[in-house]
């Protein structure tokens, strides 16, 4: 499932990042790499509040649709 479809409060593991190299590099700099643990804290007005590597990051849904996750 994609990060934007994931339920809030469940621990997730990043499985794959979709997109061009520059987008994948940008998300990797934020900490979204394969095998990283993450959590969707909440969803507000189409934006996702996530926690990854002890950092809260806000993403819009289009970026959330590029991140494939699995439940832990």
Q: Identify the domain containing residue 20 by its residue range.
A: 3-71
> Three-state SS for 53?
coil
- What was the pLDDT predicted at 56? 96
Prediction pTM value: 0.91
Instruction: Say if CB 2 and CB 50 are below 8 A apart.
Output: no
Domain count across the chain: 1
What tens digit of pLDDT does each residue of 12-71 get? 999 999 999 999 999 999 999 999 999 999 998 889 999 999 999 999 999 999 999 999
- Nearest CA-CA partner of 57 in 37, 28, 31, 36: 31
User: Residue 20 belongs to a domain with what CATH number?
Assistant: 2.30.30.90
């Amino acid at each position: 499932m994609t990060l934007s479809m994931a339920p809030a409060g469940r621990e997730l593991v990043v499985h794959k990042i979709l997109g061009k190299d520059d987008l994948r590099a940008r998300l990797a700099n934020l900490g979204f790499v394969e095998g990283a643990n993450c959590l969707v804290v909440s969803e507000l007005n189409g934006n996702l509040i996530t926690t990854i590597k002890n950092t809260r990051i806000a993403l819009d849904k289009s970026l959330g649709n590029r991140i494939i996750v699995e439940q832990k």
